[in-house]
A and B are shown apart, each in its own frame.
Chain A
Amino acid sequence: MAMNYNAKDEVDGGPPCPPGGTAKTRRPDNTAFKQQRLPAWQPILTAGTVLPTFFIIGLIFIPIGIGIFVTSNNIREIEGNVFMYYGLSNFYQNHRRYVKSRDDGQLNGDPSALLNPSKECEPYRRNEDKPIAPCGAIANSMFNDTLELFQVGNASDLMPITLKKKGIAWWTDKNVKFRNPPGTDPLEERFKGTTKPVNWVKPVYMLDSDEDNNGFINEDFIVWMRTAALPTFRKLYRLIERKNDLHPTLPAGRYYLNITYNYPVHSFDGRKRMILSTISWMGGKNPFLGIAYITIGSISFLLGVVLLVINHKYRNSSNTADITI
């Protein structure tokens, strides 16, 4: 009989329920939502609707891919602004110990963080009892080779090519994220009480003579601080601006690259590179995107054709709704 009686709702005695029953209606509301009858758009994804998508995608992707591919291949010619990159390989800027090793507060000019850097900077936090500015492994390992480019003239004379230092970092980084410690004093005063990173030759306030490119807002430094995603990476080093429309920026000829070698890479089996490149609307030379678009577009188109054929073979039946799960 009543084996297991559950009085969950009756703790409060429950409303007395006379045999007559209450008159109150308990009919559920007849609203579309409650009856699960909301008006709904019921797209039926059948071969008929999906196949055109394949075609369309194919038709769109292939031209885009070709466009990209062509653009990408054209980047070789040194016209327009030329960008000078340095490249490092086997350098793990994405190592997690490395990536963390910085203090964004300090870099943003926070005076307290300047003198008391974050613990994340260990072991590059303090040196000889003085806080390091900028602290951390990233800053400490900043690329410090100097690259100079000369055009070899007719008489084997070297004509230096103007390399623009500014305009290589993100605008927001340069103007918002990175700031020197506040004050009107000379930079050296503002960094007082700190010491240079162990591996650096010069302290941070002597990175450049230009006041607007010195200290934390030195653009070389900012670029370095934007850690790369992959162990083989390139970073923007200098800009070579086009002087006028008549001449190519770097006309064909012999060039001389002078490297002041400071940066050791042999210890980690690394390589250094210098890259000169122009840039299109879609960035630097990268055949991947173009090829990918062409491939995917073609596959999609092919697939569309194949499926259309298969689909057509069985088209005899009526187009019932797809009711499988």
Chain B
Amino acid sequence: MFRRSFNRFCAGEEKRVGTRTVFVGNHPVSETEAYIAQKFCDNRIISSKYTLWNFLPKNLFEQFRRIANFYFLIIFLIQVTVDTPTSPITSGLPLFFVITVTAIKQGYEDWLRHRADNEVNKSTVYIIENAKRVKKESEKIKVGDIVEVQADETFPCDLILLSSCTVDGTCYVTTASLDGESNCKTHYAVRDTIELRTVESIDNLRAAIECEQPQSDLYKFVGRINIYSNSLEAVARSLGPENLLLKGATLKNTKKIYGVAVYTGMETKMALNYQGKSQKRSAVEKSINAFLIVYLFILLTKAAICTTLKYVWQSTPYNDEPWYNQKTQKERETWKVLKMFTDFLSFMVLFNFIIPVSMYVTVEMQKFLGSFFISWDNDFYDEEINEGALVNTSDLNEELGQVDYVFTDKTGTLTENSMEFIECCIDGHKYKGVAQETDGLSQTDGPLPYLDRADKNREELFLRALCLCHTVEVKPNDTVDGVTESSELTYMSSSPDEIALVKGAKKYGFTFVGVQNGYMRVENQRKEIEEYELLHTLNFDSVRRRMSVIVKTQSGDILLFCKGADSAVFPRVQNHEIDLIKVHVEHNAMEGYRTLCIAFKEIAPDDYERVNRQLIEAKMALQDREEKMEKVFDEIETDMHLIGATAVEDKLQDQAAETIEALHAAGLKVWVLTGDKMETAKSTCYACRLFQTNTELLELTTKTIEESERKEDRLHELLTEYRKKLLREFPKSTRSLKKAWTEHQEYGLIIDGSTLSLILNSSQDSGSNNYRSIFLQICMKCTAVLCCRMAPLQKAQIVRMVKNLKGSPITLSIGDGANDVSMILESHVGIGIKGKEGRQASRNSDYAVPKFKHLKKLLLAHGHLYYVRIAHLVQYFFYKPLYDAAYLTMYNICFTSLPILAYSLLEQHINIDTLTSDPRLYMKISGNAMLQLGPFLYWTFLAAFEGTVFFFGTYFLFQTTSLDENGKVYGNWTFGTIIFTILVFTVTLKLALDTRFWTWINHLVIWGSLAFYVFFSFFWGGIIWPFLKQQRMYFIFAQMLSSVSIWLTIILLIFVSLSPEMLRIVLRSVRRRKSES
């Protein structure tokens, strides 16, 4: 009866959108219930975008969504349909080329994905069907199948662990390929299925799993398993992330496991997390687009003017249709307006070359190839992790040279994140470790010297707390038989603090040996093993900022140990205890150490019953489990007794200070965003010279604000006060701000998370916008800003705030941990440190480097160079085709693209070493300086000037009767060829003038392309092309070269058109001299 109602309850729940029911082994759970086959997707992973059939249309569609491609398509169509002066080939061919290249690239990438998909989908897995192991292809797995996975295999889909070969039903898993954390994580089977270790027994399991619908959060899973063991009533057990084995993770140190598939194929968490990175566009690309629009405007105007002129000219009838050049009947009959329109279009087509089609290809290629130089750079190579830099996107190379704001994480980025236990304080007595901890191999030589001792019991309690209150794992191989040499222990944890603490405890004689059967084993100072039953772990989270364990001692006492940030622990302990410790904590924080407070509490057995029930209830909850757990945790972690505090040093990274200084000198504003406490963060900032000794600090923290009654008033007061102060310093000199920095008093701002949220989220009536703008004004005037106590989301908030500032400065975020991911994704350029807190940051970043110090070279050298390169590239492209090169524009691809490509890859106008050593150079290119209106106009006018020179030079030349010694005349095709020859030479030589770094590749390509041009022209004009309708180019080039006058003209005009550039060089060097003297 009960079961029926329960089932009905389940069925009701099943219909709710939020859950799904999985029948283990696809066996109906009972005869009475009808087996409802649910439809789930199969286990095929499809990461590829296209199939063989839809590749062409889909790919084309996507390509033409790009504005430039679409534009060229339109031009092409106009050329095909309307009678135009240029053949459709001239624009069709480049377009075709661009499209094909892109399609091939995308096709190849997709083919790789197909192959990878196939590899996964066709890999063999073993499924338990009818008490037999059945070999199957991975893609055939259905939801509900029981899957057997062996050691070192990856899980083919998301599985609920049913049993493993170990007695306690645990297995170790590494999620290195999912989130980069290479440590082994323990996953547990539900107690009731642990025993099912054979094929037969597992097949007899009758159970149903209810779980939420697939969602992408890797660390969240809520479910419940109902086990119908012996036809009595179902046993319900809760399932959490610790029961779920994710597809993509690898089984380690466990021979085999059985699991039931709950999410398959595209519904696995891994697949749900598969998503293209949000497209970040660089400022240069935006500039390109802006220029494109300007040029489009010019184009339209030009076409309109030309159409008008044409009709003006045609208004005299003999011009419109002289007897020698009559129109066809059709032309005469065409409706006039339509004719004007087509004329307009054909002029547009004629001039369409001012928008360079090949630029996009070249820019893409430049970026793609250019990014290799970053990953090839030996200076980014780090011995320790055996890896160099990683480039995840090639679109942002030049953006590295444009950064205005740098947001950096502290832990692991500025600092090493290799923690070292420095000292601890027990009941106000300070214990200081003298010997340097090298690694786990160091000898434990009893208690280290301490200044004065606390009570022996308290001391031991403290050390036990250190040994127990953590989630550190001992590498399981070493603890198989429980008796291990302490020196062989290798600790693994997701947080290096914990390892440092455990190692610290070891120095004082308490060694954590491992967990066995739910018992934590600790070796005390007398070399005895103490066992504590681990009842509950109240995991760490960044909101509570503390973690606790509940253990049962051998004597049966139930103890709760809690460790956490002082702000998280102090409110929960007795006041008189705080005073003793607080001094030490603050002192330690000032020194730049990370401090944690340790507290404990004894729980009476009755209370424990209640707590236990609450905890289990919360863990079982299907809905809002997080919130419920939190509430319970909150209730438990009260009325504790403070025992002591620890101090862990986080060493500064190599050259962090130098890097920060260099960045400062380069005019970048460095903001440190950290979750750490203010004092620690502040001292780190001093240590890495973010704040100088003469920097005046403005503090906006809870401390400064809480002094007064009404926080908001106080905040307002402070804000206005600071603003006044700053405005006095910088009287409206925003433009010369950079200069002002070096001369004026430097200001640093410190703000903490709660104040920030007060500023950002204060109620409407108090004028939050006002606060915000004042705050921003203050921020912009400060050289350095330190934001401490930040939640990950707040970091992103800050970045977004700065990003949306006036003038939209380019932001760069650098961080190493999962908590930095949000800010890395938010900023223009995200840089990940391949650090110790897993690889999430580097996976989500655009670039990943091993160390913070590499940022210096990345920005100052690579960024600078790439920016200069691409800026030149773009300018060059807008400059190059301004002349009416008409039908010869197809040469664009072959003749003039290669040199600029080589140039844009190899140019180093300043030596890399100079760049890194003189960060001031970075300022010169900040603010997209090279792609502003000025240079743009310069290049455009240069192009217009040269166009004029070319045309009129040749025009005057043609005023004569003949250009040849035999008196023969040249026609219009010669005219065009002369202009084009001059064009090709000028453009290439101009590039040669700009090149400051001539490698053999530059030589080859520049001279080679000129030679190729000559060769090609001879070839093209050399024979009668059988498949062409017209032979107008026949022998033009050769004939042209036979004329001395034409040679002379070409040389003259090349010189004339290059002279402005030469003049510029001279004037610039003169001007520099002037400024120097």
Binding site for B on A (CB under 8 A): 1-8, 10-19, 21-22, 24-30, 34-36, 38-48, 50-51, 53-54, 57, 61, 64, 68, 81, 83, 85, 91-105, 108, 118, 120, 122-124, 137, 140-141, 167-170, 172-173, 176-177, 199, 223, 226-230, 233-236, 239, 264, 267-269, 275, 277, 279-286, 288-289, 292-293, 296, 300, 303, 307, 310-311, 314-317, 321-325
Q: Is B250 an interface residue (CB 8 A)?
A: yes
- Say whether A5 contacts B959, CB under 8 Å: no
For residue B290, CB closer than 8 A to chain A, the reply is no
Known A1-B818, A16-B174, A285-B961; judge A141-B924 contact (CB<8 A).
no
The answer to whether A141 touches B324 (Cβ under 8 A) is yes
A6 and B844 within 8 A (CB):
yes
A35 & B376 in contact (Cβ 8 Å cutoff): yes
- Closest CB pairs A-B (n = 9): A141-B324, A14-B177, A314-B1073, A284-B961, A286-B960, A229-B975, A17-B176, A34-B376, A268-B318
Give complex CA distance A140, B64 in Å: 45
Residues of B within 8 A of A15 (CB): 177
The answer to whether B966 has its CB under 8 Å from any CB of chain A is yes
Shortest Cβ distance from B134 into chain A, in angstroms?
21
- Report whether A42 and B962 are in contact in the complex, using a CB–CB cutoff of 8 Å: no
Binds A, one of B196-204, B298-306, B360-368, B997-1005: B997-1005
Q: How distant is the Cα of A253 from the Cα of B397 in the complex, in angstroms? A: 78
Chain B residues lying within 8 Å of A300, measured Cβ to Cβ, are 1055, 1059
Q: From the candidates B152, B908, B1032, B1074, name the one contacting A16 in the complex (CB within 8 A).
A: B152
Measured in the bound complex, the distance between the Cα atoms of B273 and A7 in whole Å is: 6
Segment from B88-96, B445-453, B1043-1051 that makes contact with A: B1043-1051
| 13 sample A-B contacts, Cβ–Cβ < 8 Å, listed by A number | A10-B177, A10-B270, A11-B120, A19-B183, A30-B378, A36-B377, A38-B999, A61-B1055, A122-B328, A124-B326, A288-B959, A322-B1069, A324-B924
Which residue of B is nearest A83, CB measured? B967
**Inter-chain contact B1066/A50, CB cutoff 8 Å:** yes
B1069 A296 Cβ-Cβ under 8 A: no
The chain A residue sitting closest to B177, CB to CB, is A14
Task: Answer yes or no: B411 CB below 8 A from chain A CBs.
Answer: no
Contact of B955 among A3, A97, A228, A230 (CB under 8 A): A230
Interface size class of B (residues with CB under 8 A): 35 or more
Flag if B386 contacts A18 (CB, 8 Å): no
Give the CA-CA distance A167 to B179 in the complex, in Å: 82
* Chain A residues in 8 Å Cβ range of B969: 85, 223, 226, 228, 233-236
Contact A38-B1039, Cβ < 8 Å, known A5-B844, A6-B277, A283-B965: no
B1068 on the A face (CB < 8 A)? yes
A41 near B1065: Cβ-Cβ < 8 Å: no
CA distance A105 to B1031 in the complex (A): 8
Asked if B930 is an interface residue, CB under 8 A from chain A, the answer is: yes
CB contacts (< 8 Å) of A268 on chain B: these are: 318-319, 322-324
Q: Which of B819, B971, B1039, B1068 has the most CB of A within 10 A?
A: B971
Residues of B contacting A6 in the complex (Cβ-Cβ under 8 angstroms): 273-275, 277, 843-844
The listed residue (B976, B1045, B1068, B1077) touching A283 by CB distance below 8 A is B1045
Contacts A239-B967, A292-B1052 given; does A1 touch B819 at CB 8 Å: yes
Q: Flag B1009-1049 by CB within 8 Å of A: 1 or 0 each.
A: 00000000000000010000111101100010001110011
Residue B216 at the A interface, CB < 8 A? yes
Cα distance A21–B378 in the bound complex, in angstroms: 20
**Chain B contacts for A140, CB-based, 8 A:** 324
A8 to B273, CA, bound (A): 9
Instruction: Known contacts A35-B376, A41-B998, A53-B1062; decide if A92 and B957 are in contact (CB<8 Å).
Output: no
Query: What's the Cα separation between A245 and B868 when bound, in Å?
Result: 66
Q: Judge if B1070 is at the interface, Cβ distance under 8 Å.
A: yes
Q: B45 within 8 Å of A by Cβ?
A: yes
Give the interface centre of A268, A283, A296 by most chain B CB atoms within 10 Å: A283
Whole-angstrom CA separation of A24 from B840 in the bound complex: 22
Interface contact B1065-A50, CB-CB below 8 Å: yes
Q: Which residues of B contact A310 (CB under 8 A)?
A: 1070
Give the residue of A4, A17, A26 whose beta carbon is less than 8 angstroms from that of B177: A17
B972, A85: Cβ atoms closer than 8 Å = no
In whole angstroms, what is the CA distance A29 to B378 when docked?
7
CB distance from B870 to the nearest CB of A (A): 13
B840 partner, pick from A5, A34, A283, beta carbons under 8 A: A5
| Assembled-state Cα–Cα distance A24/B385 (Å) | 11
One of A14, A45, A321, A324 near B176 (C-beta < 8 A): A14
Q: Which residues of B contact A234 (CB under 8 A)?
A: 961-962, 969
Assuming A11-B117, A36-B912, A289-B957, what are 14 further A-B pairs, CB within 8 angstroms? A4-B275, A4-B821, A7-B271, A12-B120, A13-B154, A13-B248, A18-B252, A21-B182, A46-B1066, A85-B961, A230-B958, A283-B964, A283-B967, A307-B1066
For the complex formed, measure the closest distance between the CB of B374 and the CB atoms of chain A, giving whole angstroms: 10
Q: Is residue B41 contacting chain A, with contact meaning CB distance below 8 A? A: no
Distance in angstroms from B189 CB to nearest chain A CB is 22
Whether B967 and A81, one on each chain, are in contact in the complex, defined by CB atoms closer than 8 angstroms, is yes
In the complex, what residue of chain B is closest to A264 when comparing beta carbons? B323
Nearest chain-A residue to B838 (Cβ)? A2
Cβ–Cβ < 8 Å partners of A239 in chain B: 967
Chain B residues lying within 8 Å of A199, measured Cβ to Cβ, are 323-324
B996 touches A51 (CB 8 A): no
User: In this assembly, does B388 line the interface, its C-beta being within 8 Å of a C-beta of chain A?
Assistant: yes
Check if B323 sits within 8 Å of A267, measured CB to CB.
yes
Residues of A near B154 (CB, < 8 A) are: 13-14, 16
Interface string of B956-994 (1 = CB under 8 A from A): 111111111111111111111000000000000000010
Given A141-B324, A322-B1068, the answer on whether A286 and B967 have CB atoms closer than 8 Å is no
Contacts of A177 in B (CB 8 A): 1024, 1031, 1034-1035
Contact between A236 and B967 (Cβ–Cβ < 8 Å)? yes
For A279, what are the chain B residues with a Cβ–Cβ distance below 8 Å?
Answer: 961-962, 964-967
A275→B1076 contact, CB < 8 A: no
Which residue of the partner chain, among B119, B925, B997, B1052, contacts A325 with CB atoms under 8 Å? B925
B972 touches A93 (CB 8 A): yes
Which residue on B lies nearest to A23, using beta carbons?
Answer: B386
The reply to whether the CB of B906 lies closer than 8 angstroms to some CB of chain A is: yes
B613 lies within 8 A of chain A by Cβ? no
The listed residue (B250, B275, B325, B1077) touching A317 by CB distance below 8 A is: B1077
For residue B1032, which residues in chain A have a CB less than 8 angstroms away from its CB? 104
Query: CB distance B377 to A118 under 8 Å?
Result: no
Contacts of B85 in A (CB 8 A): 96
A102, B1000: Cβ atoms under 8 Å?
no
Given the interface pairs A268-B322, A283-B1045, the reply to whether A123 lies near B844 with Cβ below 8 Å is no
Q: How far is A92 from B958 in the complex, measured between Cα atoms in Å?
A: 15
Cα-based distance from A134 to B924 in the complex (angstroms): 65
On chain A, the residues within 8 Å of B1074 by CB distance are 314
B contact residues around A284 at 8 Å (CB): 960-963, 967
A46 touches B1065 (CB 8 A): yes
Within the complex, the shortest CB–CB distance from A163 to chain B, in Å, comes to 13
Task: Tell me which of B183, B375, B1070 contacts A307 (CB under 8 A).
Answer: B1070
Complex Cα gap A81–B961 (Å): 14
A7 near B1069 with CB under 8 A, answer no
A296 proximity list for chain B (CB < 8 A)? 1052, 1055-1056
